[in-house]
Amino acid sequence: RDIIGLAETGSGKTGAFAIPILQALLECKGQPEAFFACVLSPT
């Protein structure tokens, strides 16, 4: 389930990580786990 992505600036990488995480949080019943997701992204 690990993903390594490489793409140009402005290509939607942040959305590719954030949208599925936000969707899972919205579908989560009750409280999510303490560490629900971890995205490491160099600047």
pLDDT score recorded for residue 23: 86
- Residue 18 pLDDT > 80: yes
Domain ranges for the chain = 1-43
Mean pLDDT computed over every residue of the chain: 78
| Structure confidence at residue 22 as a pLDDT band (50, 70, 90) | confident
> DSSP per residue over the chain, as a string?
--------TTSSHHHHHHHHHHHHHHH--SPPPSS--------
- How many Å apart are CA 32 and CA 21, to the nearest integer? 11
For residues 11-37, give the mean pLDDT: 79
- Residue 3 pLDDT > 80: no
